[in-house]
């Protein structure tokens, strides 16, 4: 039995999906039973990397969703609207949905999951996090027996590509970003990549799956790489670290009413050179899941681009197609594949969290400065791992401090006192350290 696929969007990801569906040879036998029936684009006259019959293309995405020949709707338009409304429209029509759209899922996932559960259809999102890496279904299913302590990772391909090429070749930030856009890695608005928003969308999705409750997306502390200075990457390297944009979701405890306390955040981070995530370069992503009793499990692979992402999208289509074939079009939902949430979660106020930190200070170059900085940290119980003076010129010095793990509130209080020292010209950079 052939299954009709309706594609919303034929850009980087959509064209990759169309390419797989039109070339089933050598793939899973079910791929040959999927047929692309309608495709929505913005501009039908645009040249495409895949050859499709003209009659398949339309500029009316609702017509694709409503087409009776379309059994599964694949949303790869991106952005919030009309993507959200089209997903809800498909669900209302009883059609399963596959989407790569992390922006929509991070903000409207609960609404979409509730609508899908009420209507008894699947919404699968494997491509929304980690590109070609299977991480969504493993978190939902294969690791379901675990208490997840932490999910951390490099989950934005564009920024990892930029940071890797800047570190390995000294390439200029703007040039590498343009290259990432040309290769189809970046979002339509690349600010989502470089300001950390895309990684925040993804970690909120992973946290929801790992901890079973929805996360307030707008409350996630988020810092991207656009303000990262090359000299900090260089000093970090001299101290034995690499800088990566890290997304972290960590379980800190539970409230008396059972609400889970989470620390969820995105920021550039100094990783020791021997850390498993430090060797993840280019467009690759990696996600480290720490759970009890499994221990540490790492997922690694290409995190963006047409091929990897369409691999994940088509895997979701195959999951749905396989279940339809086994159970009939209206068969019961498999609870592990279907979305679900069962706990309350809340983000812990950032001042109460604990981290290691890197600080770069611009100071006057005179006797006693390092001692006075050390005293400010000591007064707030902030323990220092190392303090190093780098550049010195014209009576000015740069001092880099790495702290042990300390409370964020104490660290901020110490930093405020340091900023007030007459010898300190500026607190030039602060970064997290693992």
Catalytic residue numbers read 202
For the bound state, the minimum distance from the C-beta of residue 47 to ligand NDP, rounded and expressed in Å, comes to 10
User: What CA–CA distance (Å, rounded) separates 145 from 142?
Assistant: 8
Residue of 6, 12, 71, 97 interacting with ligand NDP (CB under 6 A): 12
| CB within 8 Å of 112: residues ≥ 6 apart | 84, 87, 88, 91, 104, 105, 123, 339
| Site residues (vs ligand HSE, CB under 6 A) | 131, 156-158, 185-187, 193, 198, 303-304
Residue with the shortest CB distance to ligand NDP: 11
Residue 76 interaction partner, one of ligand NDP, ligand HSE, none, beta carbon < 5-8 Å per kind:
ligand NDP
User: What CA–CA distance (Å, rounded) separates 253 from 256?
Assistant: 10
* Stretch binding ligand NDP (CB under 6 A), from 35-43, 244-252, 253-261, 383-391: 35-43
304 or 314: CB nearest ligand NDP: 304
> 333 — phi, psi (to 5°)?
-70, 140
Token digits of residue 83: 């993507």
In 241-305, alpha helices (H): none
CA 315 to chain centre: 19
Beta-carbon count within 10 A of 218 CB: 10
With residue 75 as reference, give the H or E element that holds it.
Answer: strand 72-75
105 or 399: CB nearest ligand HSE: 105
User: What CA–CA distance (Å, rounded) separates 137 from 122?
Assistant: 13
User: What CA–CA distance (Å, rounded) separates 373 from 366?
Assistant: 12
| Torsion sign across C-alpha atoms 27, 31, 33, 36 | negative
User: What CA–CA distance (Å, rounded) separates 221 from 347?
Assistant: 10
Asked whether the beta carbons of 284 and 291 are under 8 A apart, the reply is no
* One character per residue 43-62, x = contact with ligand NDP (rule: CB under 6 A): x--x--------------x-
Residue of 56, 98, 127, 314 interacting with ligand NDP (CB under 6 A): 127
For the bound state, the minimum distance from the C-beta of residue 308 to ligand HSE, rounded and expressed in Å, comes to 9
For the bound state, the minimum distance from the C-beta of residue 185 to ligand HSE, rounded and expressed in Å, comes to 5
39 or 271: CB nearest ligand NDP: 39
204: contact with ligand NDP by CB under 6 A: no
41: contact with ligand NDP by CB under 6 A: yes
Residue 184 interaction partner, one of ligand HSE, ligand NDP, none, beta carbon < 5-8 Å per kind:
ligand NDP
Segment 70 to 89, residues that bind ligand NDP, using CB under 6 A: 76-78, 82
133 or 239: CB nearest ligand HSE: 133
Asked whether the beta carbons of 121 and 91 are under 8 A apart, the reply is yes
For the bound state, the minimum distance from the C-beta of residue 164 to ligand NDP, rounded and expressed in Å, comes to 16
Interacting residues with ligand NDP (CB under 6 A): 9-14, 40-43, 46, 61, 76-78, 82, 100-102, 127, 131, 184-185, 187-188, 304-305, 309
């Amino acid at each position: 039995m052939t299954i009709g696929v309706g594609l919303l969007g034929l850009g980087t990801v959509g064209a990759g999906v169309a390419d797989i569906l039109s070339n089933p040879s050598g793939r899973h036998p079910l791929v040959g039973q999927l047929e692309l029936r309608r495709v929505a684009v913005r501009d039908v006259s645009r040249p495409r990397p895949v050859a499709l019959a003209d009659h398949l293309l339309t500029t009316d995405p609702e017509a694709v969703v409503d087409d009776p020949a379309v059994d599964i709707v694949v949303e790869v338009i991106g952005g919030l609207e009309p993507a959200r409304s089209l997903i809800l429209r498909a669900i209302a029509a009883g059609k399963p949905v596959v989407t790569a759209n992390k922006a929509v899922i991070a903000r409207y996932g609960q609404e979409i999951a509730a609508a899908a559960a009420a209507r008894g259809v699947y919404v699968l999102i494997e491509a929304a996090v980690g590109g070609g890496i299977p991480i969504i279904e493993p978190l939902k299913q294969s690791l379901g027996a675990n208490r997840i302590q932490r999910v951390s990772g490099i989950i934005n391909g564009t920024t990892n590509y930029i940071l890797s090429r800047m570190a390995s070749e000294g390439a200029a930030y703007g040039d590498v970003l343009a290259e990432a856009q040309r290769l189809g890695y970046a979002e339509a608005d690349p600010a989502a990549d470089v300001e950390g928003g895309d990684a925040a969308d993804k970690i909120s999705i992973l946290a929801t799956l790992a901890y079973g409750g929805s996360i307030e997306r707008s409350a996630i502390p988020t810092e991207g790489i656009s303000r990262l200075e090359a000299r900090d990457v260089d000093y970090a390297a001299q101290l034995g670290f690499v800088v990566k944009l890290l997304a972290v979701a960590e379980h800190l405890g539970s409230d008396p009413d059972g609400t889970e306390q989470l620390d969820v955040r995105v920021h550039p981070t100094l990783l020791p050179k021997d850390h498993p995530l430090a060797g993840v370069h280019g467009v690759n992503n990696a996600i480290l899941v720490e759970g009890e009793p499994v221990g540490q499990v790492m997922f690694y692979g290409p995190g963006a681009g047409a091929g990897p992402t369409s691999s994940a999208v088509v895997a979701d289509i195959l999951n749905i197609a396989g279940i339809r074939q086994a159970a009939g079009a209206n068969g019961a939902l498999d609870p592990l594949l279907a979305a679900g949430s069962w706990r309350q979660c809340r983000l812990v106020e950032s001042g109460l969290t604990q981290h290691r930190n890197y600080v770069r200070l611009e100071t006057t170059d005179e006797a006693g400065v390092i001692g006075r900085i050390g005293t400010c940290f000591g007064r707030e119980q902030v323990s220092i791992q190392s303090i190093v003076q780098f550049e010195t010129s014209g009576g000015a010095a740069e001092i880099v401090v790495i702290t042990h793990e300390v409370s964020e509130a104490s660290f901020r209080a110490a930093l405020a006192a340091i900023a007030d020292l007459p010898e300190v010209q500026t607190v030039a950079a602060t970064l997290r350290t693992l």
